[in-house]
Amino acid sequence: MLTIKIIEKDGTEFVTETNRVANMKETDALDGRPGIVYWLPSGDRINIYEGDVYVMNDFGKTIADYHLHVIG
């Protein structure tokens, strides 16, 4: 199990468990926008397009981080 921490553009933070995280390019994303997608233990898929995303392993070590900022 992984833990994901999301810090939104306005500074709002939340942490949740996730099974899987993927970095989606424009061509891979369902709606054509690049971003991060993660899956909740329930199987629901969540897309993130802006903000800072940190992924931690079972030991709390950050194993990936993504900094998504829309330009323009």
Spatial distance between the Cα atoms of 70 and 50, rounded to a whole number of angstroms: 7
Give residue limits of the domains in the chain: 2-68
**Stretch 46-62: mean pLDDT, rounded?**
94
Q: Strands of 45-48's sheet, edge to edge? A: 20-24, 35-39, 45-48
Residue 69 is predicted with a pLDDT of 79
Which of 41, 69, 36, 33 has its CA nearest to residue 54?
36
The model carries a pTM of: 0.83
Residue 33 is predicted with a pLDDT of 73
Residue 25 is predicted with a pLDDT of 72
